[in-house]
Structure 1
C-alpha cells in the first residue's frame, strides 16, 4: 500500500510502498477514508517532538471503514464506519483504571510511535475504534478525533459552569470547536482572540465575540468588555508563551486558565498579581479520553458542534501536497484544517 512517511526529522515526508498492516485477534484493519493534518505533525517533522522509531507513517486524526477484523473482535464488523482514538493504552495500569489513559505506563500513540493514517490502511486495537454516525462525513469524523476532542477535554478540565464567561486564544481547529462546545457547556459569553481577521470572522459566525489581537491588546479589550472583571475560563490552544500569559492575565477572580497549546518555552507568571491575588488557577490539558468521544460525536450528529467550515481543504495522499500543508502550518499560514482523502 501507499504511505507518506517521516524518514528523518527535519526533512520532508516521503511516499513509500509498504505492506498492508497485519492484525492480531483483537485488532481491526481500517481502510482510511480521511486523515487530518494536525499542527502536532509539524512538531514531529521538525524533531521538536521526537518520533520513534523511524521511518514512521504519521497521521493521528483518522476515520474510515473497517476492512478486516481479528478473531476475537466483537464490537465492530467489516463495513463499519469508525473513527480512531489515537491514544493506545494497556487498560490495566493505575492510570488506565482511574480513567486517565493518556498517562498509561505502557501507552503509545497512533501516528507517532506506531504507524498512522497517512496511508491507505491502518491497523488499531478494537478498543480504539469509535462508531462514526452516518450523518457525519469522514473528513469531519477525522478531525473530531483530535482538535475537537482536545477542546472538549480542555473545557471539561476547566470545570466550566453554566453562566460563566470564556476567552479562547487561537481560532484554528481547536478554537473553532472550543467556541461551540463552550456554548454547549452553558457559557454566557465567549471571546475569541486571534491576529487573523478571517479567523475572527469565523469565530463571529459561531456566536463568539471576536477580539483581533493585531489591532488591540486582548487583555485590555477583554477587561473593557467585561466591565473590568475578566473571564471565568481562558483556554489557550496556540502554544505561545505570550498568549498563555495573556490567558492568565485575562482571568477574573477565581478564574481558571487551561493551557492546551504545546510549547517548549518557559512561561513567566506574576504569581501574586495574577494567581494568588485572584486565587486563579493554571491547568494543563493533555490529549483527551476515550469515554469523552461518544458524547462529542453525538453533539456533532445533533448539530450542536458544526465543523463543516473547519475542514477548509482536502488533498490526495501525496507527499508533496502534505509537505506543503505542513510548511504552511509551521509558519502559521495555513487554513483552519486540511484533510487527506486517499
Structure 2
C-alpha cells in the first residue's frame, strides 16, 4: 500500500515532554511477506514513552515513531499470511519474539532477547498506520471497542501476566499493590478476579486511592505520603501480605513492597525505573525467605485471555479509558499523563 501518512516522530530526547514528538508526513510502511498493515483506530498512551522522550530509557534509533498499544483494522496482508485477512479487527502485542532462542523455546517469549518491538526497535503506532508481524496479532472480539482493545494490550495485559504467570497467587491470599495508576488499578481488579482474600492499594494521592477502592475493588487503601505504608499493612493483616506488586519503579515503593511481606511472601517488580532496585538487608531477607521476581510484558495468549474475559463480562474494561484525544494531540496527552492532569488511567488517541 503506497502513499503517505501522518505520524509523530521523536528525533531527540528532551525534558520538555510536550515538545518531544513532531507531527510529520512520512511514507506508509511497506510490509514483508509475513507482515500486516493495520489501519489504526486507537492507540493508548503509555508512561514508558515518556521515558523514551526524556532519555531515562534508551531507544536504539532516531527518528522513531513511538506508540505500542494499538488496535485497528487490517488493510493489507503479506503474501505468506494465511490466518488473517483485510478487514479483520485486531490488536497487537508490541513485541515479536524470535521463536528460536532459549527463552522462546522454554516458554518465556516475553523476555526473548532478540524480540523486535513496535514503538521501540521498529516504528510504532503514533501514526495512521503501523506495520507488524502477523504472529503478533490478537483478534479483537466484536463487542470490545477499539480503545479498550488498545489499552488491553499493555495496561491490562502487564498486570495479568504478573498475577497469572508470575505471582503463584492462591484463592484467599492477601495482596498489596504499590502504585494505582494505569497498571496498578488493573492489578487490583485482576487480583480480585483471581480470588485474593484482601487487596490493599498504596499510592501517594488521596483521589487515586479512593478511586481504587470505590471503582476497582481495593479493600483498603493507604496514602504512603501520609502514613507509613509498611506499618499500616502489618497492622491490617497482622503479619504482612502474601504477595505484593510494585508497578511504579521507584526505590521507595520497591522497598516497601518487600518489607510489607509476611515471612515466605513474594514481591513482584513490574515498574520500569532508572534507579537501582532497593532491597532490605540480606539478613532479614534470608531469614524470612522472601522472594522477589521481575515481571516484564506479556504473551499473545495473555492478551487473548484478557480480551476473552472482557468479552464475557468477567473483566470490566469500561473504566480503563479515561479520555480520548486526536493523533495530533498525543504530545499534550503525554504531558497530561506525566503530570497526572485529570487523573488519567489510560488516555487513548482515536482515529476514524
How do residues 1-342 of structure 1 correspond to structure 2 at under 5 angstroms?
A: 1-10=5-14, 12-155=20-163, 156-204=165-213, 205-208=215-218, 209-227=220-238, 229-272=239-282, 274-318=284-328, 321-333=329-341, 334-342=343-351
Contact 1:248 1:274 in 2 (8 A): no
Give, in angstroms, the shift of residue 325 of structure 1. Answer: 2.5
Give, in angstroms, the shift of residue 7 of structure 1. Answer: 1.3
Give, in angstroms, the shift of residue 254 of structure 1. Answer: 0.8
Give, in angstroms, the shift of residue 261 of structure 1. Answer: 0.5
Cα-to-partner distance string for 1:29-63 (whole Å, 9 max, x where unaligned) = 10000001100000110111111221111100001
Secondary structure of the structure 1 residue equivalent to 2:80: coil
Q: Runs of 4 or more off by more than 4 Å in structure 1?
A: none
* Distance (Å, rounded) in 1 between the aligned partners of 2:304 and 2:274: 32
Give, in angstroms, the shift of residue 103 of structure 1. Answer: 2.9
Q: Matched residue pairs, number?
A: 339
Give, in angstroms, the shift of residue 104 of structure 1. Answer: 2.4
Deviates more, 1:48-57 or 1:99-108: 99-108
Contact 2:255 2:280 in 1 (8 A): no
Give ranges in structure 2 of 5+ residues lacking alignment: none
Deviates more, 1:176-185 or 1:262-271: 262-271
Give, in angstroms, the shift of residue 176 of structure 1. Answer: 1.3
Secondary structure of the structure 2 residue equivalent to 1:292: helix
Give ranges in structure 1 of 5+ residues lacking alignment: none
User: Taking structure 2 as the reference length, what is the TM-score of the superposition?
Assistant: 0.92
* Distance (Å, rounded) in 2 between the aligned partners of 1:99 and 1:37: 29
User: Taking structure 1 as the reference length, what is the TM-score of the superposition?
Assistant: 0.95
Deviates more, 1:35-44 or 1:177-186: 177-186
Secondary structure of the structure 1 residue equivalent to 2:335: helix
